[in-house]
Chain A
Amino acid sequence: MRVVLAIAWVELRRFLADRSNLFFVLILPLAMVAVIGWQFGSDRSGSPVSVHGPGGAATEALVAGWEDAELAVTVRTTPELVQEDVSRGSAEVGVLLDAEAETAWRDGIPMELEIITGSSSQAPAVTQVVRAQAEAVATEATQVGLLETFGDATEARAALEDASALVPPAQLLVQQPEDPVAVAFEGAEQFDNGAVAQLLLFVFLSTLNAAPALIKARRDGVVRRTMAAPVTTAQAMAGLTTGRVVIALVQGAYIMLASSLLFGVRWGSLGVAVAVLLVFGLIAAGAAMVIGVLVDSEGAASGLAVGGGLVLGAVGGSMVPLEFYSDTLRQVAQLTPHAWANDAMAQIQRQGAGIADVLPQLGVLAAMAVGVLVLGSLLLRRSLARAM
């Protein structure tokens, strides 16, 4: 164990000795979390409700009513624009009225609205305000209609009281369609999704950076010298892997803590999140080992590590959320560790999932980790013979 820790410690020191690593580990990930968070969910208070309607009396009355309730309303020209506003997070709630709703409003009979609720935790509350205010506006409209019928205020008031007993006010039927994207993001805050995606993307990239370091150690003869000491290949592998996984965990913990403090990102159960990160880091460390043994040039290994890390991250949902993927692309994404880790982290973060809930994802990630680490170990052993 001492040998493993000694190798791990020296790997850590080598990593920290390269100052440029600190930029990629500490600064860039948080900058990306901020940028993505602002892109997907900025300025909610400015326009929380997006509305499309035919532009008749009902639309005008409801928009006025919501504005009276201090909701910021944007009227859109098409239903698709309303859906886009909600999907991108620029509106908490979308409301769609059609011509039938206008007619029902005019005739004083129950009208139907379609309400689309966004993914943030504020969206349900905004939806309630939208509904309550719409019902109030509809009721008032009924009352105003009655008042106009009777002309005299006293008679009208008396008639209104009678009518209240006899005729129910116009009702509002709310249709809330099941939007899979909205359901998937239910409970996620502005920066939450970006933080998970960037955490996984950068942890993988940083860990893959072990590949050129391993090539340098091989080229300098340090690996040969290590193996000439009373050290087994398994111990050498464990040491190299441990060093990189520790770096991954430290970087992960830093991103989690800093994003929590700076952007209010919630991470759910920390223990479960760290477990996912640990297994994910093992895969990255194993992949770095494989690249570091198969490739002989440090420059080529750096390119492969960065390029490969970005491609895997992109396919695995660390650039565009998996929820936006087609079914086919989703299946392709599941070949990457990022997709499984993103899925597990999303459940932990948004639904408060525990270790049992993410066991399937952890199982797949663990199998991937064992695969790349065994492959890396065999290749390292072979590379020693090749170096003679």
Chain B
Amino acid sequence: MTTPVLQVEGLRRSFGPATVVDGVSLRIDPGETVGLLGPNGAGKTTTISMIAGLLRPDDGSVVIQGVDMGAEPLAAKRHLGLVPQDLAIYPELSARSNLSFFGRLQGMRGADLRRRVAEVLEVVGLTDRATGASKTFSGGMKRRLNIAIGLLHEPRLLILDEPTVGVDPQSRNAILESVEALSGEGMAVLYTTHYMEEAERLCDRIGIIDGGQIIAEGTRDELVELTGGADTVTLVGEGPLDEVEAAVAGIPAVREVRRVAGEGRLVMVVQGAPQAISAIVATATGAGMTLRDVETSRPDLESVFLHLTGKALRD
């Protein structure tokens, strides 16, 4: 059996009376990318903080590459690269200086450090901008530098905490390609996001987290299976949405229906959408809804999340 790069058992953490992480367990093998998918406030960042040794858990254990984070935090951290959600770089310093500094913190120095700095600059496409102050970089370039710092010391486990937040589509694609390449090279990746498309594209396995608990875990297909193969139908428009919600919920094929907060949008989990769509539209318009758009989609992680929690991912 393969030795896991990351083995997390029963992590718990409370802040005052609020339990933010409640019994999270996780395993990541070499070359595997595992996603933590959940809305803001689900407990993703707190879980990552405990895995990275930044926060002491109230209970549970974190073992990285066979080293217990609680017992030997410095040794465990040597196997870990963290790419935080914030742009954790010194804007006054150049890309090269930032990389050199964080490399020294990892115990790197001399020719080895210079070589790795040059390599990761190349990987993230910042070789031409290595010497300018990073505060002059675009948002996407800063994000790429943020990732480069995490890769510098060639960690066994790379943790990426929402690395594409606020990034333009082109840079986002470049970041996702980099992660795919790293995974292909054998690096274990823990990837948190609330973008289901990213989780679907990158992750071998996905843990859906909500209320501090992993409520489901598996491959994309395994998770979709949990919905019973139901489709998602979204109605967009105006009208008495409470009444429309009640009306469409009465259609036998509609298994779940939820309003997306703040938007004129009803999201439904529907068994056999192609057959049921006309009845749904007729019922909605009959209840007074003026439709602007109707979307149907095959089961995805959004519908899984809706099915499991009764909430939309972006709620």
A interface residue numbers (CB < 8 A to B): 2-3, 6-7, 9-10, 13-14, 17-18, 217, 219-222, 224-232, 384-385, 388
1/0 per residue, CB under 8 A from A, across B194-225: the answer is 00000000000000000000000000000000
A3 near B46: Cβ-Cβ < 8 Å: no
Q: Is the beta-carbon distance between A228 and B82 smaller than 8 angstroms?
A: yes
By Cβ-Cβ distance, the 10 closest A-B pairs, closest first, are A221-B86, A221-B88, A17-B92, A6-B104, A225-B88, A229-B105, A228-B82, A230-B74, A230-B77, A221-B84
A222 x B106 contact (CB < 8 A): no
Q: Do A229 and B106 contact each other (CB < 8 Å), given the known contacts A10-B90, A222-B89, A222-B90? A: yes
Task: Please give me the residue from chain A that is nearest to B153 by CB atom.
Answer: A229
Contact B46 A229 (CB under 8 A): no
Q: How many angstroms between the C-alpha atoms of A13 and B101 in the bound complex?
A: 11
**A219 closest partner in B (C-beta):** B86
The reply to whether A228 and B80 contact each other, CB–CB distance below 8 Å, is: yes
Inter-subunit contact A6/B77 (CB<8 Å): no
**Shortest distance from the beta carbon of B129 to any chain A beta carbon, whole Å:** 17
Instruction: Give B42-70 interface residues, CB cut-off 8 Å to A.
Output: 45-46, 49, 52-56
B102 at the interface (CB under 8 A from A): yes
Instruction: Assess whether A230 is in contact with B54, with CB atoms less than 8 Å apart.
Output: no
Chain A residues with CB below 8 A from B74, complex form: 230-232
Closest to A13 in B: B93
Tell whether A224 pairs with B105 under 8 Å between CB atoms, given A229-B77, A232-B74, A388-B46.
Answer: no
- Nearest residue (CB) in B for A384 is B54
B85 — which chain A residues lie within 8 A by C-beta?
Answer: 221
Does A10 contact B88, Cβ atoms closer than 8 Å? no
B105 near A226 with CB under 8 A, answer: yes
| B109 within 8 Å of A (CB atoms) | yes
**In the bound complex, how far is the Cα of B74 from the Cα of A3, in angstroms?**
13
CA–CA, A229 to B80, complex, Å?
Answer: 8
Could you tell me if A385 and B102 are in contact, using CB atoms closer than 8 angstroms? no
B77 and A225: CB pair below 8 A? no
Closest chain B CB from A275 CB (angstroms): 30
B92-A14 in contact (CB<8A):
yes
Given contacts A6-B101, A6-B104, A10-B93, 15 further A-B contacts (CB under 8 A): A2-B104, A2-B107, A6-B105, A7-B105, A221-B86, A221-B87, A224-B86, A224-B88, A225-B84, A227-B54, A228-B84, A230-B75, A230-B77, A230-B107, A388-B54
- What are the residues of chain B within 8 A of A3 when measuring CB–CB? 104-105
Q: Smallest CB–CB gap between A245 and chain B, Å?
A: 19
Residues on the A chain within 8 Å of B101, using CB: 6, 9-10
- The CA of A226 and the CA of B85, in the complex, are separated in Å by 14
Whether the Cβ atoms of B107 and A225 lie closer than 8 Å is no
Bound Cα distance from A14 to B134, whole angstroms? 13
By DSSP majority rule, is chain A's interface helix, strand, loop, or mixed?
A: helix
Q: Which residues of B contact A (CB under 8 A)?
A: 15, 20, 45-46, 49, 52-56, 73-75, 77-78, 80, 82, 84-93, 97, 101-102, 104-107, 109, 133, 149
Name the residue of chain B whose CB is nearest to the CB of A229: B105
A13-B87 in contact (CB<8A): no
Residues of A within 8 A of B55 (CB): 384-385, 388
CA distance A14 to B135 in the complex (A): 12
Which residues from B are CB-within-8-Å of A2? 104, 107, 109
Q: Can you name 26 A-B pairs with beta carbons within 8 Å?
A: A2-B109, A10-B90, A10-B97, A13-B97, A14-B92, A17-B92, A220-B86, A220-B89, A220-B91, A222-B88, A225-B82, A226-B102, A226-B105, A227-B53, A227-B54, A228-B82, A228-B84, A230-B75, A230-B77, A232-B74, A385-B55, A385-B56, A388-B15, A388-B49, A388-B54, A388-B55
Q: Which of A7, A13, A227, A232 has the most CB of B within 10 A?
A: A227
In the bound complex, residues from chain A placing their C-beta under 8 Å from that of B88 are 220-222, 224-225
Q: What is the CA–CA distance of A219 and B106 in the complex, to the nearest angstrom? A: 22
Return the chain A residue nearest B106 by Cβ. A229
* B91 to chain A: closest residue by CB: A220
- Shortest Cβ distance from residue A17 to the other chain B in the assembled complex, whole angstroms: 4
Whether B102 lies near A225 (C-beta < 8 A) is yes
Interface contact B54-A228, CB-CB below 8 Å:
yes
Residues of B within 8 A of A222 (CB): 88-90
B149 & A225 in contact (Cβ 8 Å cutoff): yes
> Most chain-B Cβ atoms within 10 A of its Cβ — which of A217, A224, A229, A385?
A229
Q: Across the two chains, which residue of chain B brings its CB closest to A6? A: B104
When C-beta atoms are compared, the residue in chain A nearest to B92 turns out to be A17
- Across the interface, which residues of A come within 8 angstroms of B54, CB to CB? 224, 227-228, 384, 388
> Do A230 and B89 have beta carbons less than 8 Å apart?
no
CB B229 to nearest CB in A, in angstroms, measures: 38
How far apart sit A172 and B33, CA to CA, in the bound complex (Å)? 100
CB nearest neighbor in A for B21: A388
In the complex formed, the residue of B with least CB distance to A236 is: B105
Instruction: Say whether B102 contacts A229, CB under 8 Å.
Output: yes
A228: B residues at CB distance < 8 A: 52-54, 77, 80, 82, 84
The CA of A13 and the CA of B73, in the complex, are separated in Å by: 29
Task: List chain A residues, Cβ under 8 A from B56.
Answer: 385
B90 neighbours in A (Cβ, 8 Å): 10, 14, 217, 220, 222
Min CB–CB distance B4 → chain A (angstroms) = 20
| Beta-carbon contact of A231 and B45 below 8 Å | no
